[in-house]
Amino acid sequence: MTATPGRGRPRKSGFSVVRFRNPSGDLVWRVQGSADGRRVRENYPSEARALERRRELEREHLQAEPEPESLRATSLTREQLSEAEAAWVKLAQAEAGPGSLLGAVDVWLRMRAEGQLVPVVVYFGDAMDQFQTWVNQTPTLRDRTRKNLRTRLEKFRVRVGHRAIHEITPDDVDRLLNSRQVSARSRANDRLVLSRLMSWCMERPRCWIKSNPVSVVKVEVGELEEPTLLTVAQAEALLRAAQETDGGRMVPYLAVGLFAGIRNAELGRLTWGQFNLADGTVRLEGRQTKPGKARVVDLQPNLIAWLKWADAHGQRDLAYDQRSFVRVREAAGFIDWPVNAIRHTGLSFLLKRLGSFADTAMAGGNSEKMLREHYVGRVSAADTEKFFGLLP
């Protein structure tokens, strides 16, 4: 028989787990604290291993407590007693209060019988690290997608804390999304990224969770604002300023965006060799487009003229250059710049020019529904002729 003390509420340990960047630059999990005059500071590569070490230290701390005033007989071994003590510590630290150890065991047994238990416990921070490794090693993901996933998820790391991934509920997701003071659109994008992480955790061979808690959480973004367009005069001023700024560096970017309606991000993925000026077409591969599908865009005659001008001046780079674009805008007399104005302008004039939702949707890589809702009747036939009559 082993003796154990009559117990009151277990006292909390003095050990904690924090994320830490060591001198070599690696991110690790540090177990730190002190007990009985001994200071602990140990680094581990994963949160799960760090938490395991913290539990070991808690058990050692409990075993080192002074002899109790009274003893009670028990059939438990010393190891079983240590584990029970550590379990009581965790229950005492729970948000809902100390609870019942027997009740916790009953819930565990019932969930196991119903097949609801997750076989592997993975903490949110470790899941994020493994997901990020997968993101970096997946060649089909674009750099912009990788950056978006990384930056948005990092904002949730501290907010989630030391939580197992299967413990996160829809209510937790709601609190996470509302914890950031951002626009509804940005909150919706946060939700998409968080959902992608959870879906990845569900997939084989991981199967860390049985359902995605984000799937039942909705974010209202409200109605989209109507797009702001450039006038023909503003478009011409922008192109003329581009010709005179930085040797024409921004001419290809602006001309293709205005006269073909191609997305800004897609322009940065295009190469000069994809343009067939003789046939008047450009082919975008699936990996270069937002929908992930290849498409062929017909080039308007004036766009071909602008591309030939750019080629003659040694400008074949279609990527966006922030500093050069700001100089062009200032030279053209713009004080404020409307959001996504180049694409909105291009699609509006192109729809009027082609007179076909299907052809314009093919050029822009978006849906006919979007064109009907936001781009119909926004420019006149007379202005359309002037717009596509702009030449170098």
pLDDT along the chain (392 residues), means of 10: 46 73 80 80 84 81 59 73 79 64 76 63 90 92 86 88 89 90 85 94 89 91 76 97 96 96 90 94 90 91 96 94 94 88 94 92 89 89 96 96
Same domain flag for 75 and 153: no
Is residue 111 included in any domain, yes or no?
A: no
Is residue 237 included in any domain, yes or no?
A: yes
Domain C-terminal end among 78, 97, 116: 97
Task: Show contacts of 86-91: CB within 8 Å, 24+ apart.
Answer: 86/55, 86/58, 86/59, 86/62, 88/7, 88/10, 89/10, 89/12, 89/13, 89/58, 89/62
Is residue 67 included in any domain, yes or no?
A: yes
Same domain flag for 10 and 82: yes
Is residue 193 included in any domain, yes or no?
A: yes
Same domain flag for 178 and 62: no
Same domain flag for 243 and 352: yes
User: Across the strands, what pairs with 42?
Assistant: 31
Same domain flag for 243 and 366: yes
Domain C-terminal end among 163, 184, 202: 202
Query: Domain of 278: which CATH number?
Result: 1.10.443.10
Is residue 328 included in any domain, yes or no?
A: yes
Is residue 238 included in any domain, yes or no?
A: yes
Same domain flag for 43 and 161: no
DSSP annotation of 299: P
Look at the chain and report how many structural domains it folds into. Answer: 3
SS3 310: helix
Is residue 107 included in any domain, yes or no?
A: no
Same domain flag for 279 and 238: yes
Write the Ramachandran bin of 142: left for phi over 0, alpha for psi from -120 to 50, otherwise beta. Answer: beta
The predicted pLDDT at position 373 comes to 85
Same domain flag for 6 and 45: yes
Burial class (CB in 10 A: 0-12, 13-18, 19+), 382: exposed
Same domain flag for 268 and 367: yes
Domain C-terminal end among 28, 62, 97: 97
Q: What distance separates the 2 farthest-apart alpha carbons in the chain?
A: 99
Same domain flag for 263 and 343: yes
Is residue 208 included in any domain, yes or no?
A: no
Q: Structural domain of residue 49, as residue ranges?
A: 2-97
Same domain flag for 69 and 32: yes
Same domain flag for 348 and 290: yes
The predicted pLDDT at position 317 comes to 94
